Structure 1
Amino acid sequence: MSEKKLDVSDSSESAESGLMIATVRSTSKPWCATYPGPADRNFNYRKLLDNSENGIGNASKSPIKVAIIGAGPAGLTAAHELARSGLKNIHLYEASNRYGGRFWTKTLDPDNGEEQYSAMDAGAMRMPPFIDERAKRENPNPEQRRAEIRGGCSILSYYLNKFQISTGEFPNPGSKIAKTGIYYNEGSLEPDIKTDNDEEEERFQEDHRETNQRGKGTMLIWHGDQNDPPNEKLRNVKKKWDDWGNKVKKYVRKAYPTPGWPDFWKKIVTNYYDKTFRDVVLLPVIDDDEEHQKGNFGGLGMTEEEARIFYVIGAGDGGWGSFFNLSFLYVYRTFIHGFGTDLQVIEGLFDENGNRLRGPGQNNHTFDSLGGQIATPKYLGTSTITDCLLFGEIGGQSNTPALYGNHVKGMISKEPKADGLRLFFDSPVSKIEKLENGKVKLHVKYGVDKSFNFDFASQEYDAVIVTVPTHQFGTEIEVSGFNPKDEWPYDLQAYLAQAHWEPCVKVFVELITPYWEDPECPIPQIIESETFIRDTYGVRINKGTKGKQTGILLLSYTWWRDATKLVGYEDQELINLAVKEADRMLKNCKNMGSYDISRYVKFTKDQFGNINYKGWVHHWELQKNYKGAARLYDQRTWKNTQVPMMYNQLYSKKSKLYFAGEGYHVDAGWVEPAFRTAIDSVLRIFLHNGINILTEDFNFERDYPEYDPNFDPATHKVE
């Protein structure tokens, strides 16, 4: 086991944190995660859950009462695992009448009576399973691939396997399963190499020679059987990104699954914490093994022109231009550590033959503990995961089959009981108060008029798991009674006030038919462009009566500055503008014939005969409870971003507060950090309340890694 002494004063306590002198642990070798995995803590959470058949801890006799604020993936994971360990007194508070957080799936209405499965996901739509590179097969059959996905070294894979959730390969730009179109400089990039598809395209050109005169540009087509794009400028850009990534991965792959990873990670952070993505794109290349051993891999060495192309085309999952001025560490964590690899679309509950399965509570009226109606589970899209966490079987030591179910028993009465599993929706928390007796009290605004009353003011908790977005503090949630020295430090308060949530807009349209499956249609399934619609993805779930599934088109996917430009439009206006712009782009391409997006999109007509295309617009920036899609950060903010990540480790034992969710981590935009911080909270609640951890061969003090609160990349010397 690798240990390093904290650099603290000789006094019994650190002046800044009020903590006893301790050690900072690396993960013990048997509990190191496989590569790839998140950079900041290489602990095998999947193994922890696999080895905890009867629950993570033995909490069945524990009298403690736990509150969870927020019913997103983090809150539901924490509730699920606490209940699986036998804990009986759990109260979950959600400000809205829906659960799922940033898992927000809109399901489609039937098409001519045929149920549609290609759901529209406002939040995460492609999920990384973190498959051990050594376990991958080169050309797996469907059964083998399913086993790889469900066997990944991730909590996501654990739940996919537990609930038997169906997934499929996501059609990323440049992927093997989709045709990618690139529209750059109004279609000025031309193909410069011959492909197996050229003869087919020449026949199309001949068949459409009259309509080909509509435009002078070209939709550059990157076919799935091509490893590289068919244009020299694009190939040069991709090569520089691939060369840099492969070079880094060579060293990271060796260090990551070992107790020595934290020290190597510190070297990388020291070299890159002060750089933006743009800086590293333009930095010169370094090919020096001694420098690489020090965590310095230089930059991509791109020219300004190449950087502009990279801005539009991205690095494998869409344009990254909106992230060019953010911390490079965000991009590094994403692409080097597996968040952009093996990405899966979450389909829902289907059997191996593609037949849809019915899940618990589906199509039933569902209610919270006071009889308020809440959204019902659909088991389609990414929301399938949170559907299963709330309605699916718990197992372990739980005395109830699911979080949803017995939660109403004894509550809908004139004298409801306070103990047990309780779900409170439409119940925003307005204040978190530390009491003199050491417990925590929540002030709750129950926003829906009920005929049954519940005395929220009388509830006192031994632990509170907080999953709400950071901006809720200082606006809607007041924090009172916590000591700023060792419970609610000023640097945490500053972080909460300054945390940056990235705007994001998705514009979906419903399709009459999946045009990319029409052999006569040249429009690619994926389009990367510099127009205001930016990234376009066609998705169809290949399940059930697959020939009748029409699919959806994420016609416009934008972030940050590109997203804020679209905030002022009414939804229908924006949908119509996006279809119009897609048509304009295609009309300008001589290789698209007479084909337009609009001919494939469902529409209605108003009383004046005007066409309104059918779709859905989701602005994360405008959602009161979210105010953004992902919590991101700038360069030179290492210490700031670490404050919430280290809170559970440094302060939760005394404060009784625990942070969980993507808002308190650095890997935002995917669900894995929400899962992991939830499990971290559960472990520490057990540790702080004398509850034995049952996971086989696991000892918290020996095996669980901790962050180094004294590491500062600005002063750290790399040797």
Structure 2
Amino acid sequence: MPAEYYLQAEVDPQHKAVCHQFPNPGSAPGNTGIYLNEGLGPRVDFPRPALIDWPYGQQPANADIQYLAAKATRFVTFVTDYIKDIYVENSQRWTELWQKMVAHYQSMTFDDLVMAPAMNVYAVDDGNFGGFGMNADEANLLYTIGTGDGSWGAFYSIGALWFLRCTLFGFGGSNLQTVSGYAAAESMPFYGMPVQDSAGNPLPSPTYRGIQSLVEYLFFAKAPQQPQSLYESDRARLFTRTAIARIHRRDDGRIELHTAGGQMEIYDEVFVSASQWATQMSMQFSGFSQAQLPQRKITASHTQHNISSCKLFFPLREQYWLRTDNRIPQVLVTDTFIQDAYALAWQGPERDPGVILASYTWEDDSLKLLPYDEKALVQKVLEKLRQITVETVGQDITAYIAQDRPVMIQWIREPGYNGCAKLYRQRDEAANFIDLSYNQDFAGQSHLYFVGENYGVEGGWTEPALRSAIDAVMQWLHQHQGRFMVQDFDFDRDYPRWSIR
């Protein structure tokens, strides 16, 4: 994987990346608690409010939730068991099977997939592997609490193909990792030092912590056999607070970038990494012919769906789940307006008290929070967390939260994003295809490249964002007759190509 290479293979052995299992529900060492129907459980029959216990590495202690999980797991296992050997062949057989699966599932929402009958045998080679086989009551419970891991309702109106791509090809699940940073980071380049962009604006000092450490490494550290880092090079310029208002292609093929402040710079090529909605709302494109920037590409960018999300973080005063007298789970999964709460701490030279994502919401649940400013939302979330934990386990989780230091991210309000991630609707394959293939088919003429998570098909993940960027660079090198130094690699023969549809 590209991310693993930059995090592990290229760096000095003393600076290996430190990764830990992400505390997903069921994967948190401090256990998970599920709060449903005011604490009275899936059937509203608990004698008093209680958390459904989900011990680390085990199943939730509730038959209804276990049954939902079994149905979802059965479908995924049924499909993967059939396709895995064909997929690794990397042959025409896989291409044909995948095209049939796309033809069958691309018109379905995830809701349709949940309700589609389950299949036991793939007898007709038509790409139809059935669905979860849930009835209406089961689908409603899955919408509300998932398989114990939180509401799946945000995905119900999303295209079924997004779920299939992410689930079948290794995203999420119990193996999800969190990158806490590089070992011995204090001896890495520019650690903790004042740094600035090319316009003199201050940048956060690199600390090589979290997934941000990948970005910091690529920018501040020297590449192998290179005398300077990108940060030190005069040729690599970075402007972090210079909004682009217009991208214009000149008759000579070069690209003019016009800033919101009225400045203009000319470049040979331009890579656009802003999300599609943010690009639509802030930039104009001019001077491009239909052969260079077809209308269907512009329409795809304007109409693809970006999911909304809201996150509310706090520092913790201590890792409460490690206390011998603690009864509060490290992760809380609820059907309330806060949805889920995750606590996490990275172990480093100094004991980290950790942080808590006190409310993690998607789509409708995040839109419910839009009318509230940070102060009002903080009060509501803390009150709800206090109620849940006091009523169920007799302890107050907010006693461990640094309540005066919240950080709220409401993605739909972020002008640079205008949404959280591209989770496309059903019947969007034509738009997906031009997003995937534009750099291959048009960038050589337009000198314009689109890169990042919003131009892939597994929205919401780091790996597709990085893969999109690497693909754009590979296409640029090939279009400029670059020579690849990897032994026995031939771009035309070995590099995947999007076929014309």
TM-score, with structure 1 as normaliser = 0.66
Give secondary structure in 2 for the equivalent of 1:528: strand
1:507 to 303, 312, 327: 312
Alpha-carbon distance in 1 for matches of 2:242, 2:405:
33
Tell me the alpha carbon deviations over residues 645-687 of structure 1, each in whole angstroms, 9 at most, x when there is no partner. Answer: 1101211111111111111111111111121111111111111
What corresponds to 1:98 in structure 2? Answer: none
Aligned pair 1:426/2:241, yes or no?
Answer: yes
Q: How does 1:103-182 map to 2 (within 5 A)?
A: 154-161=1-8, 162-163=10-11, 164-175=16-27, 177-182=29-34
CA RMSD of aligned residues (A): 2.1
Q: Per-residue deviation at 1:446?
A: 5.5
Q: Per-residue deviation at 1:701?
A: 0.9
Tell me the alpha carbon deviations over residues 4-49 of structure 1, each in whole angstroms, 9 at most, x when there is no partner. Answer: xxxxxxxxxxxxxxxxxxxxxxxxxxxxxxxxxxxxxxxxxxxxxx
What corresponds to 2:255 in structure 1? Answer: 440
Contact 1:181–1:526 at 8 Å: present in 2 too?
yes
Q: Per-residue deviation at 1:600?
A: 1.4
Contact 1:190–1:218 at 8 Å: present in 2 too?
no
1:467 to 224, 248, 273: 273
Structure 1 letter corresponding to 2:277? H
Aligned pair 1:702/2:500, yes or no?
Answer: no
Q: Do the aligned partners of residues 601 and 475 (structure 1) sit closer, same or farther apart at CA in structure 2, a change above 3 Å counting?
A: closer
Contact 2:196–2:203 at 8 Å: present in 1 too?
yes
Alpha-carbon distance in 2 for matches of 1:598, 1:459:
53
Contact 2:258–2:265 at 8 Å: present in 1 too?
no
Q: How does 1:169-568 map to 2 (within 5 A)?
A: 169-175=21-27, 177-189=29-41, 216-226=48-58, 228-257=59-88, 258-260=90-92, 261-291=94-124, 293-315=125-147, 318-341=150-173, 342-351=175-184, 357-396=186-225, 398=226, 400-407=227-234, 420-445=235-260, 457=264, 459-461=266-268, 463-484=269-290, 486-546=291-351, 549-568=352-371
Alpha-carbon distance in 1 for matches of 2:233, 2:445:
32
Q: Per-residue deviation at 1:475?
A: 3.0
Computing the radius of gyration from Cα coordinates, the structure with the larger value is 1
Alpha-carbon distance in 2 for matches of 1:311, 1:474:
32
Alpha-carbon distance in 2 for matches of 1:583, 1:371:
45
Structure 1 letter corresponding to 2:80? K
* Structure 1 residue ranges (4+ consecutive) displaced by more than 4 angstroms after TM superposition: none
Contact 1:172–1:318 at 8 Å: present in 2 too?
no
What corresponds to 1:572 in structure 2? Answer: 375
Q: Do the aligned partners of residues 460 and 668 (structure 1) sit closer, same or farther apart at CA in structure 2, a change above 3 Å counting?
A: same
Q: Do the aligned partners of residues 500 and 541 (structure 1) sit closer, same or farther apart at CA in structure 2, a change above 3 Å counting?
A: same
Structure 2 letter corresponding to 1:584? Q
Tell me the alpha carbon deviations over residues 271-330 of structure 1, each in whole angstroms, 9 at most, x when there is no partner. Answer: 111111111111111112313x43211111112222222223335754321111111111
Alpha-carbon distance in 1 for matches of 2:28, 2:322:
15
Stretch of structure 1 that moved more, 314-323 or 490-499: 314-323
Contact 1:328–1:635 at 8 Å: present in 2 too?
yes
Stretch of structure 1 that moved more, 487-496 or 466-475: 466-475
Structure 2 letter corresponding to 1:340? G
Q: How does 1:48-63 map to 2 (within 5 A)?
A: none
Alpha-carbon distance in 1 for matches of 2:140, 2:324:
33
Contact 1:434–1:482 at 8 Å: present in 2 too?
yes
Q: Per-residue deviation at 1:458?
A: 5.6
Structure 2 letter corresponding to 1:571? E
What corresponds to 1:682 in structure 2? Answer: 473
Q: Do the aligned partners of residues 317 and 666 (structure 1) sit closer, same or farther apart at CA in structure 2, a change above 3 Å counting?
A: farther
Contact 1:240–1:301 at 8 Å: present in 2 too?
yes
Count how many residue pairs are aligned between Structure 1 and Structure 2.
491
Contact 2:149–2:333 at 8 Å: present in 1 too?
no
Q: Do the aligned partners of residues 496 and 380 (structure 1) sit closer, same or farther apart at CA in structure 2, a change above 3 Å counting?
A: same
Q: How does 1:59-70 map to 2 (within 5 A)?
A: none
Tell me the alpha carbon deviations over residues 71-98 of structure 1, each in whole angstroms, 9 at most, x when there is no partner. Answer: xxxxxxxxxxxxxxxxxxxxxxxxxxxx
Contact 2:29–2:330 at 8 Å: present in 1 too?
no
Structure 2 letter corresponding to 1:378? T
Alpha-carbon distance in 2 for matches of 1:483, 1:545:
57
Structure 2 letter corresponding to 1:615? P
Query: Structure 1 regions of 5+ residues with no counterpart?
Result: 1-153, 192-212, 408-419, 448-455, 604-612, 711-719
Q: Per-residue deviation at 1:190?
A: 8.3
Contact 1:395–1:401 at 8 Å: present in 2 too?
no
Alpha-carbon distance in 1 for matches of 2:199, 2:36:
55
Give secondary structure in 2 for the equivalent of 1:566: coil
Aligned pair 1:588/2:391, yes or no?
Answer: yes
Q: Do the aligned partners of residues 550 and 370 (structure 1) sit closer, same or farther apart at CA in structure 2, a change above 3 Å counting?
A: closer
Structure 1 letter corresponding to 2:247? I
Q: Per-residue deviation at 1:690?
A: 1.8
Q: Per-residue deviation at 1:616?
A: 1.3
What corresponds to 1:74 in structure 2? Answer: none
Tell me the alpha carbon deviations over residues 557-580 of structure 1, each in whole angstroms, 9 at most, x when there is no partner. Answer: 001111111122121221221111
What corresponds to 1:600 in structure 2? Answer: 400
Structure 1 letter corresponding to 2:31? K
Contact 2:243–2:259 at 8 Å: present in 1 too?
yes
Q: Per-residue deviation at 1:178?
A: 4.1
Contact 2:246–2:284 at 8 Å: present in 1 too?
yes
Structure 1 letter corresponding to 2:87? Y
TM-score, with structure 2 as normaliser = 0.93
Alpha-carbon distance in 1 for matches of 2:240, 2:390:
49
Percent identity reads 30
Determine which structure has greater relative contact order: mean sequence separation of CA pairs < 8 Å that are 6+ residues apart, divided by chain length.
1
Give the structure with the higher percent helix.
2
Contact 1:473–1:479 at 8 Å: present in 2 too?
no
Alpha-carbon distance in 2 for matches of 1:244, 1:638:
23
Alpha-carbon distance in 1 for matches of 2:350, 2:121:
56
Give secondary structure in 1 for the equivalent of 2:117: coil
Q: Per-residue deviation at 1:457?
A: 3.8
Give secondary structure in 2 for the equivalent of 1:256: helix
What corresponds to 2:451 in structure 1? Answer: 660
Contact 1:509–1:575 at 8 Å: present in 2 too?
no
Q: Do the aligned partners of residues 474 and 241 (structure 1) sit closer, same or farther apart at CA in structure 2, a change above 3 Å counting?
A: closer
Q: Per-residue deviation at 1:439?
A: 2.1
Structure 2 letter corresponding to 1:669? G
Contact 1:277–1:325 at 8 Å: present in 2 too?
yes
Structure 1 letter corresponding to 2:400? Y
Tell me the alpha carbon deviations over residues 610-662 of structure 1, each in whole angstroms, 9 at most, x when there is no partner. Answer: xxx43211111111111111012111111122221110121111111111111
